[in-house]
Structure 1
Amino acid sequence: MAQFDCFSPAAVGFLQDLKANNTKDWFAANKAVYETHLKTPSKLFADDMALALGDLTGQVHSSKIFRIYRDVRFSKDKTPYNAHLHLAFTPTGQVAQPPMWFFGLSPEKLSLGCGVFQYEKGSLDAFRDAMVGPSGAELMQTTTELRERGYRIGEPELKRVPSGFDKDHPLEEALRRKGFAVWMDTETPAFVLKSNLTERTTAEFAKLMPVFQLLSRIK
């Protein structure tokens, strides 16, 4: 069975060239490069990372590789392909909307993240109920600490505290969120070209375990 170590320079080169030549003709002429250097290694990497995250968290994880083909039916942007590689890893059978792990490789950078982009209705109610107590204080402290360490965290989606909660609540910043995700960005995709990518990615994800553990308690 083939084993994965890291991506090749040809994988990053393919994404760079695809960004500059995002057409069906160019992709067809270079599909073999995509299959060999991006698609097949991505599957091996996804399988390895799912197992590694299981070891890190103690929870079984599934993996998803997002399609390179764009759905352009309702988009003004009609370019046919995504010039990036996105993977997501999700713990199975735990909570209704668990935190996920994200791996995003583009021609310019690599982003690694953990969290929930946006809670659905039932899960959003549970999130807000948790944010009025110790979990809200923990989220705000985690936000401060990780931002000081250079992690990227978006601002709350709402300008005001949602109805049903004290508009002057001391944890209002947490209550104004509709999700919570934390990102580590690199300025170069060279991270993926070095040996032992699975181990090194897992080590970066381990730094986000406080986010994973906090959001995993919301049920």
Structure 2
Amino acid sequence: MLTELNKQINPNGDIMDRNCIKAITIDMIVASLDTSTAPLEWALSALIKHPRVMLKLQKVLERIIRKRMVEGNDLPKFEYLDMVVKETLRLYPVTPMLIPRESMEDIVIDGCYIPKKSRVIVNVWAIGRDPNAWSNNVEEFFPERFVNRNIELHGHDFKLIPFGSGCRVCPGRKLALITVKLILAQLVHCFDWELLGGMSPNELDMTKNFSSTLPRKNNLCAKPIYRM
């Protein structure tokens, strides 16, 4: 696609060479992988560690779609799945510090003076664990906290902004959410999950590897058991 677009560029304008096209393509692929695989692994880890939530989600899926496979047009029916994904992104945001911003003018926010040209880093990880926003059980994986709370993931509710907000919000957030929800629903609906070596759910290590993204420190190792 980029090659074809490149052919149509004004001859007097800038033309992307092959190295530039390859760099853009790699950026797109890496960005899409991180925003899908990390939340999926965290969500499945949290469900395995909390059997009550796993069982409840399985029952919800069974009640709605019975024994067939999950399809894309089923996703709007799964309110509890939405809560599970939101809770996962609250506790384990893909980019815990988002992408740095720059203050365009001198401004005072909540008594804090921010000079023009300051680099601003938003600590989404800390916001997701703020008791003032989420009550005292902030460290608990509890999807029901979203019951009767119209909190969305598209940058309008500042207590939950894993994809950022405003004109710099992640452009691939909708695709990432659909991908995560569809795959997670399929994995939970079609399989039970058992940790290796006889490990119990409460022994599952949930240590994080803090960097520009937030993957698990150790990969999740679990055995799927077909249940359909």
TM-score, normalising length: structure 1: 0.25
TM-score, normalising length: structure 2: 0.24
